[in-house]
C-alpha cells in the first residue's frame, strides 16, 4: 500500500508539496472461521446430535439397550454418538480400514459392545433381526442394487426397528454435477441421483413404513459448489471463499430472523433428504 500511495501521489518524485492522506483506521482482521465448525452448528440447529435427549436425529433416540447397525459408517461420527449412549454398536463398511479405525475410535466409550463388519452387504454377515436401530447415511447413491441392499437392512432389523436413512437431495446434486469432477459421479462415488418420491418408494418397497421425510443442509449445498471452484484438498479445506461463506452463514444464524430464513433455504435446496422409517 505504501508503494501504491507513493505512485499515486508522486511522493519523492515531485517538488509539489502534496499532503499525505490521513492514515485510515484499520479494522482488526477477522478471526479465522472453520467451515466444519459452522457446519456442525448448522447440523445441531437442524436436529442432529441432541445430547440431552439422546437423539442422533430428532425423533431417533438411542438407548443403552439398543443394538445399532451403522452401515457405511465412514469415519464413525454417528457410531460414536451411539457408543456414548452405551449401545451395542455394529460398524459396517466396504472399506476395512474405516471399520478398524472406527472400532478403535469407539474403544473406551461406554458402548456395551463394538462389533465390526466388512463387506458390500450382499449379503450382510449378520443374523436376522439383530438390530433395533439401523443407520444408513449417504450410502444408497453408491450401491449397485438398492433393492437388494435395502432388503438386507430390513432383514437384520428386528420387528419394530427404527431406521435413519439419508441420501443427497436431487436439486443440489444436479448443480454439483455441473461443477464437480466427472469422477464424483462415477463408481465408487455417486452413481445415481435419487428423486424425493423415488427415495420414499425405495423404502416402502423394501417393506418399511415411512414416518417422516425431511430436508436439511443448504449450507453444505453451497459449500460444496464453492469447494469445487477452490480446488483445495478436503483434508485441509481452507480458502478465503469457503471461509467467507462460513462467516456469512454464521452471521445469518446469529440474526433475529435467521432461523426462519435458514429453514426456508433448507427446504429450497437441501444437501440431503432424511427418512425415518420403522419395520412393522
Split the chain (280 residues) into runs of 10 and give each run's mean pLDDT.
36 40 54 89 97 97 98 96 98 96 96 96 95 98 97 98 98 96 96 98 98 98 96 93 97 96 97 98
Nearest CA to 114 out of 158, 148, 68 is that of 68
pLDDT of residue 32: 74
Going by C-alpha positions, the residue among 221, 176, 167 that lies closest to residue 196 is: 167
| Per-residue pLDDT, 151 | 98
The DSSP symbol for 189 reads S
Neighbours of 103 (CB within 10 A): 17
**pLDDT confidence of residue 12:** 39
Instruction: Note whether 274 and 216 are within 8 A (CB).
Output: yes
Question: Angle at the Cα of 112 (from 108 to 114), degrees rounded to 5?
Answer: 70
Q: Is 231 exposed, middle or buried (0-12, 13-18, 19+ CB in 10 A)?
A: exposed
What's this model's pTM, rounded to 2 decimal places?
0.87
pLDDT of residue 26: 57
Q: What does the alpha-carbon distance between residue 218 and residue 259 come to, in Å, rounded to a whole number? A: 12
Amino acid at each position: 500500500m505504501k508503494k501504491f500511495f507513493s505512485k499515486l501521489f508522486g511522493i519523492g518524485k515531485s517538488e509539489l508539496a502534496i499532503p499525505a492522506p490521513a492514515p485510515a483506521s484499520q479494522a482488526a482482521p477477522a478471526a479465522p472461521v472453520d467451515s466444519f465448525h459452522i457446519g456442525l452448528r448448522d447440523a445441531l440447529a437442524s436436529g442432529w446430535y441432541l445430547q440431552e435427549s439422546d437423539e442422533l436425529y430428532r425423533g431417533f433416540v438411542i438407548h443403552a439397550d439398543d443394538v445399532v447397525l451403522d452401515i457405511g459408517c465412514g469415519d464413525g461420527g454417528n457410531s460414536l454418538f451411539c457408543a456414548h449412549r452405551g449401545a451395542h454398536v455394529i460398524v459396517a463398511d466396504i472399506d476395512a480400514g474405516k471399520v478398524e479405525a472406527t472400532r478403535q475410535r469407539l474403544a473406551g466409550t461406554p458402548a456395551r459392545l463394538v462389533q465390526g463388519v466388512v463387506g458390500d452387504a450382499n449379503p450382510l454377515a449378520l443374523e436376522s433381526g439383530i438390530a433395533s436401530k439401523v443407520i444408513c447415511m449417504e450410502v444408497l447413491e453408491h450401491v449397485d442394487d438398492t433393492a437388494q441392499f435395502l432388503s438386507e437392512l430390513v432383514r437384520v432389523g428386528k420387528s419394530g426397528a427404527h431406521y435413519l436413512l439419508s441420501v443427497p437431495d436431487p436439486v443440489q446434486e444436479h448443480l454439483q454435477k455441473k461443477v464437480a469432477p466427472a469422477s464424483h459421479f462415477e463408481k465408487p462415488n455417486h452413481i445415481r441421483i435419487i428423486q424425493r418420491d423415488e427415495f420414499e418408494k425405495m423404502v416402502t418397497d423394501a417393506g418399511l413404513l415411512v414416518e417422516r421425510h425431511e430436508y436439511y443442509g443448504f449450507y453444505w449445498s453451497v459449500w460444496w459448489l464453492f469447494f469445487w471452484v477452490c480446488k483445495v484438498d478436503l483434508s485441509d479445506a481452507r480458502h478465503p471463499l469457503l471461509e467467507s461463506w462460513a462467516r456469512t452463514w454464521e452471521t445469518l444464524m446469529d440474526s433475529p430472523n435467521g432461523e426462519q430464513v435458514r429453514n426456508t433455504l433448507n427446504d429450497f435446496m437441501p444437501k440431503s433428504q432424511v427418512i425415518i422409517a420403522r419395520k412393522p
